């Protein structure tokens, strides 16, 4: 009986030695970069490892994970590392490999985006999120963006709704400091470096700035995807649900307004934008947007008022100037059409002169607006428009001034 027990122990020892030998050989293949050979060896000795203890099995699965990571078989790598963990591998051993796996997946996803394989990139970035949902939520956001770029709207919707459910904000702290020698403000990507530079006499005016929350954008994208899928009721419901929990969030109010605009409900757009203005009365962009919609609704005088307010609040808002000029000149076409329809009678000639004066008055209204816009940064469109206006009303000196200014921009 003792002899039998001894034989069993010897057999077990021999079997264990064989398992460790094959695992060492597979590891040698891995270290030397012979990944396919390592996989082949592990696969061919599967029966040997199946009868091993959990400690050996955990090491085998860990090696499988490392191999699949290197060979970019990411789903297999994740499964292998999960099995290794379940078999007893410690976090101390696994975490460095998981970080390598994350880096490999992200690098591969970046390459997919660069080659415009957006769908593959989206799925890989979702893998990164799934590896650590507590710290990797930003990659779910990137995954959703890639899914949109791939035009896979159901997949993008799935990711955005998950972002909404976890209340992802994506707020980042940006670091800025001014270089004394040049006077230029530069962005510092590393907080430690930022703090070090603050101690240097070569830098001054350090400041931190938080980025806007991405949550309103996420809600907006959910609604827009529903709209793209022809589900307008769900689009509006998504916005209203978000607003009910954040009634004072101006970003969501503007998002709702944009959805109304996308759906062609311009009256609802105006109501939402007016509500946003009540909360941010000094926001020039809000007045500009109301000017655009009011013009489309045929409310010319109201639109002009909104554009003028937008300019008063932000004198550098070039689009407000251009839209205001276009709106003032909107009546020119009807005037010219009526002028061309007149005959040569005395009454027609008098009417022609009246219409000509009305047309010139329209032009003259736009001259100071265009001058102000040109003073900002020599806007090419404004220079050309003013040059044509001066030519039409016979202001030769003004025409030559604008002509010379236009030539200087080339």
Q: pLDDT tens across 260-295, in order? A: 887 788 888 888 888 888 888 898 988 888 888 888
Across 24-51, average pLDDT: 74
* Res 173: pLDDT: 86
Contacts of 358 (CB under 8 A, 6+ apart): 335
In order of their start, the domains of the chain are 19-89 (1.25.40.10), 173-210 (no CATH), 288-410 (1.25.40.10)
Across 288-304, average pLDDT: 85
* Res 17: pLDDT: 59
In angstroms, the Cα distances linking 177 to 128, 173, 188, 378 are 33, 13, 7, 30
Q: pLDDT tens across 233-250, in order? A: 888 888 787 777 677 778
Decide if pLDDT at 11 tops 60.
no
Decide if pLDDT at 317 tops 70.
yes
**Average pLDDT over the chain, rounded to an integer:** 84
In angstroms, the Cα distances linking 207 to 186, 188, 195 are 11, 10, 11
Task: Please state the φ and ψ torsions of residue 203, each to the nearest 5 degrees.
Answer: -135, 150
User: 220-226 long-range contacts, Cβ below 8 Å, gap at least 24?
Assistant: 220/255, 220/258, 220/259, 221/144, 221/148, 221/156, 221/160, 222/157, 222/160, 222/161, 222/164, 223/255, 223/259, 224/259, 224/262, 225/148, 225/153, 225/156, 225/157, 225/160, 226/157
Across 362-379, average pLDDT: 86
In angstroms, the Cα distances linking 343 to 333, 336, 357 are 18, 14, 18
Decide if pLDDT at 7 tops 70.
no
* Res 48: pLDDT: 58
Decide if pLDDT at 377 tops 70.
yes
| CA distance linking residue 219 with residue 156, whole number of Å | 12
Q: pLDDT tens across 61-73, in order? A: 888 888 888 998 9
């Amino acid at each position: 009986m003792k002899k039998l027990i001894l034989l069993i122990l010897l057999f077990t020892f021999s079997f264990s030695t064989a398992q460790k030998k094959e695992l060492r050989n597979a590891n040698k293949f891995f270290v030397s970069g012979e990944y396919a050979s390592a996989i082949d060896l592990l696969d061919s000795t599967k029966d040997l490892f199946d009868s091993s203890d959990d400690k050996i099995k955990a090491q085998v699965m860990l090696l499988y994970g490392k191999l699949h990571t290197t060979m970019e078989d990411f789903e297999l790598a994740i499964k292998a590392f999960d099995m290794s963990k379940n078999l007893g591998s410690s976090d101390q051993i696994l975490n460095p490999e998981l970080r390598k796996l994350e880096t490999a997946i992200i690098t591969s996803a970046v390459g997919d985006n660069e080659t415009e394989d957006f769908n593959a990139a989206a799925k890989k970035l979702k893998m990164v999120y799934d590896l650590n949902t507590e710290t990797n939520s930003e990659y779910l956001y990137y995954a959703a963006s890639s899914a949109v770029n791939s035009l896979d709207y159901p997949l993008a919707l799935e990711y955005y709704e998950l972002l909404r459910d976890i209340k992802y904000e994506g707020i980042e702290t940006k670091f800025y400091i001014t270089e004394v020698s040049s006077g230029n403000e530069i962005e510092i990507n590393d907080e430690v470096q930022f703090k070090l530079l603050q101690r240097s006499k070569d830098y001054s005016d350090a400041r931190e700035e938080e980025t806007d929350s991405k949550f309103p954008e996420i809600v907006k994208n959910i609604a827009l995807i529903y709209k793209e899928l022809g589900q307008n009721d769900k689009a509006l419901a998504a916005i209203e649900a978000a607003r009910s929990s954040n009634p004072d969030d101006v970003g969501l109010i503007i998002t709702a307004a944009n959805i109304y605009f996308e759906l062609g409900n311009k009256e609802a757009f105006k109501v939402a934008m007016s509500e946003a203005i009540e909360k941010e009365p000094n926001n020039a962009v809000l007045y500009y947007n109301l000017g655009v919609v009011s013009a489309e609704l045929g409310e010319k005088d109201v639109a002009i008022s909104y554009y003028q307010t937008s300019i008063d609040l932000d004198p550098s808002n070039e689009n407000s100037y251009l839209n205001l000029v276009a709106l003032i000149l909107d009546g020119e076409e009807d005037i010219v059409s009526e002028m061309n329809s007149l005959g040569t009678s005395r009454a027609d000639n008098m009417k022609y002169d009246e219409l000509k004066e009305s047309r010139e008055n329209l032009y003259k209204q736009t001259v100071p607006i265009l001058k102000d816009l040109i003073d900002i940064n020599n806007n090419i469109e404004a220079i050309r428009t003013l040059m044509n206006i001066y030519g039409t009303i016979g202001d030769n000196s003004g025409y030559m001034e604008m002509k010379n200014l236009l030539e200087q921009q080339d």
